[in-house]
Structures are given as C-alpha cells and as structure tokens.
Amino acid sequence: MVSTVDALATQAGIDMLRRGGSAVDAAVAANAVLTVTLPNQCGLGGDLFALISTPDGGVATMTAAGRAGSRATADGLRAQGHSRMPLEDPRSVTMPGCVDGWLAMHYRYGRLPIAEVLAQAIRYAEDGFPVSAFAAAAISKRARTSPDAAAMTIDGELHGGRMTTRPGAARVLRALATGGRRAVFEGEFGDGLLEIEGSPFTRDDLAVDQSAWTDAIHVDAFGGQLWTAAPPSQGYITLGAAVIAEHAGLGTDPESPEWAHLLIEAIRQASWDRPASLYDGADPAELLSETRLRARASAILPDRTTPLGDTYRPGGTTFLGVVDADGMAVSLIQSNCMSFGSGIVAGTTGIWLQNRGIGFSLEPGSPAELAPGRRPPHTLAPVMVTNPDGSVRAVVGTRGGDSQPQVVLQLLARILLSGQDPAEATAAGRWILRGTGDETSFDTWGYGGDVRVVLEGQVPGEWATGLRSRGHVIEEAAAFGHAFGHAQVIVSDRGVLFAAADPRSTSGSAAGY
C-alpha cells in the first residue's frame, strides 16, 4: 500500500513494489516524483525525516536535517536589526538533506538500483506531467515574482491538468542516478548553492553528509506504541500530548466537545515551552518523562481552559506512507519548510531551497541560536504505531508546520481509541491552533500562551458552543481547507491494509496491489 498527496507519486511507489522493491524503494520513488510535481511543497532543496520498521520489531529513524552553513551567524543578523530569522533570505537557507536521506535509506534497505527508483521522476521532469490544481495555483502566484516559476506556466498562468516540465530538476535527478552524491553537490546543484548572493555555504559545507541514523523515541499510549523522530523534530509533542490526553481521561466519542477540549489542552500542555525546549541535541527522555507529562496532565481542567500565565515562553511539506508485502513500513515527510521555501533557486536548476533556518532563534545564548553547523528546530514529525509484538499497526503524518502534531494527535485518537477507519478519520473535521498574531503555521507558540482555536467547517455542530463555554477563543473556517493538513494514513488490521489520502489536497491517492 502507498499513500501520498499526488496520484503520480503513489503509482510510482506501487510500480516499485510490483517490481520486487522494498517499502524504502517505493518511498524514495514516490518522494522523488513529489519533488518534481509539487515544487511548492517539497524538493531536492529541502529536508527529510523517515521512520522505517525493522525486522526485529524496532523502528529506525532517518534524520536528514541540513545544518547551517559555515558563514551563518546570528551576530550579523542582529547587527542589521533582526530579532527573528527572516523568512525569504539566504541566511535562512540550511543545507538540503533530501539527497543524503534518500541515499542512506536506499543503501541500507533498497533492493532495486537507484537509477530504476528515480526513473519515473526523471521521466516526468523531462517529458512533462499534469499539474494538480493545488500546485498550479501556487505556481501561478509565485510566477509573478519568480522567473523560474514563470517558466513552468503559459503566459504567467498555470491551470490544473496542464502539462509542464522541470528540466533543471531532471538534470539533477539524472546526475544523482548516474553519479551519486558527488555528482549532485560537485555539479550544477552544488554550484547553485554557492552562487546564491550572500550564500552561507562553503565548498566544505557541501562535502558533509547531512543524513544520520538516529534512535526513534516512543511512548505507550492509545493502546499502541507510538514512535517518532527525536529532536530536532517536534515529534515529541505528538507523543507527549497523547500521554497527557490519556492521563486526563480522553474518551472515545469524537463528536463530543469534551473530546476536542481535552485534545486541545493536551497539545497546549505539551507545546507551551517548545521555543525553549526544542533544539538540536534536546534530550527526548526529559521531554517525555512520566513526571513531566503527569504534572501537565494534572493541570488540565475538564470544564475550562488552563491559564498558562507567566510560565509560557515565547507551509510547504508533504508526507507519504508505504507498507510492503513483507510488513516493512515507511513513514516519510519531506519539505521546503514554507511554500517554495526561501523563494531562492539553486542556480540554473529551477530547484527551490528550503528556509528551514527560520526555526533558529536570534536570542543570544539560546540553545536554538543560529550557529554554523547547527540544525534548526524542525516541524517535520512523522509517526508510526506498532503492536506489542513489533508489527506495524499504522503509519500517520501530515503537512502543516506547527499544526502537524495537532492533526496527527486527532487522527491517532480517532483510529486507535474510537475505532474509525482511515477514510472516516481523515475526512472528519479538525481543529488547529494559531497564535493571536500568527498568520502562518510556523509561529503558533510565540504569543505568550494566547492561542485561537480554528474549527474546520465540517466539525460537529456542538464543538463551537462547547469550546466557547470552556473559554476557548474560536474561529470558524471553511470545510476541507488546506490549512488543516494533507494527511496520509495506512492502517494494518490482522494483515489487511487500509489506507486513505487526505481529501483536502484534492490530488491525493492511496493505492495497493
């Protein structure tokens, strides 16, 4: 089974499985297609996190999170009057981790040649592909200010279903398929990274592999073992919130306002100190300690919001899931950070570079302060659920910046506690939190503890009244909005696979064979 945000990517993954490839082959093939068809959401200029189930019942974590360049300094930005990382600026560009992540995963778990795995993506980039309505709208908007986006359009406009090509991306993918990492970072793409005006990188930076196999972190909650990536991923929030919600007495009726209230309060308790707690090297054992989580659960009130008071301190992403015939599962998330990332293209490649550096702090002495070689706090947070015997029960993830743990928590509660199938769970109305001045999905926790609860149009009618009566500040939004995530879910139930691709993306596809 393969579930992605784009039918072309899903079919590329299925094709790898039919050819005898592993779940990793399928995941890399699908991700490679997505880097071509969804340049607004992901690409070779972004990072990657993945969870992979292993034969011994464990979970391996690929952390392909790029580091700040050798010329990146907080002092320079502060001297220019910046108190926060700028959004579209070369100093917010970190080294892309995607290529290194693919190669490391494929080297350990792949069965098919890397050239075969990348072939579909190369073909779409060279010969053309039909653009989804979502991507077409984003490309048309970016085309007003970006010649690289304009080159994908017809007279500045691109409509869903129209064919377009990505010749620069094709050249880089072909270089990777034939010459490996060296051909990418010592070739056209690497040159483009160095030629950025004000580039934070040196040639030595490009020689450093940005991937690392790290230990997955896990908790027991909702009747399963929940796994995610360790910091700098924010995945600990999903796990911590699940434990907190369970301790707070979360029920099984997702129609109830109390269900929504307890999950919202659990996320608030798990996330309120994220700006101070999440950084490269943060200790997951401390973040998920039973003492810490029980104390936060005990602060939750069933009939009103918990004031956080003085204790509070101040996209563009795609997720895919794969399960193969041997039971190996991959939960993979890959991203530009914001839509089109930094807005900066690597030379002549037409590949946008991430602005993942916006996760850094400019506060002197902060453990998340921008510094050469440091990885920024990361919103990417894939999740996998296993049974007591180590077999895979579910693969879950979504795009959404700070709201990723919020959406995944709701999906886990619906599937694991309420027994909903993937289609019902993904289509159900959601809530997401926003800071009081937050207009993006990357700064929810920067407003002194004040958050708004934004309700999707198809949530149960009792939610708005019930949550307002408990003290939540409520906003109501249209049904099936992009802001509420593009989730992918695969569930294994007694050896039968069920999957759903989020209808909010309008182009998603879940398929098996």
Catalytic residues: 317
For 316, the token pair is 């563009």
For 92, the token pair is 């917010």
3-state secondary structure of 160: coil
Residue type, 10: T
**Using CA atoms, how far apart are residues 509 and 2, in angstroms rounded to an integer?**
8
**Using CA atoms, how far apart are residues 190 and 69, in angstroms rounded to an integer?**
13
Burial (CB count <10 Å: 0-12, 13-18, 19+), residue 59: buried
**Using CA atoms, how far apart are residues 274 and 161, in angstroms rounded to an integer?**
41
CA distances to 20, 22, 58, 99, 397 from 54, in Å: 18, 12, 5, 22, 19
**Using CA atoms, how far apart are residues 290 and 269, in angstroms rounded to an integer?**
14
3-state secondary structure of 323: strand
Alpha helices (runs of H) in 254-339, residue ranges in sequence order = 257-271, 274-277, 284-287, 290-298
For 104, the token pair is 């490391």
**Using CA atoms, how far apart are residues 300 and 247, in angstroms rounded to an integer?**
10
**Using CA atoms, how far apart are residues 487 and 501, in angstroms rounded to an integer?**
6
In whole angstroms, what separates CA 180 from the centre of its chain?
Answer: 25
**Using CA atoms, how far apart are residues 453 and 361, in angstroms rounded to an integer?**
26
For 70, the token pair is 């050798």
Task: Tell me phi and psi for residue 384, to 5 degrees.
Answer: -135, 145
What is the CB neighbour count within 10 angstroms for residue 495? 7
**Which string of b and e fits 373-394 if b means at least 16 CB within 10 Å?**
ebbbbbbbbbbbbbeeeeebbb
Residue type, 285: A
CA distances to 152, 210, 492 from 140, in Å: 9, 32, 39
| β-pair type (451-455, 473-476) | parallel
For 74, the token pair is 């907080």
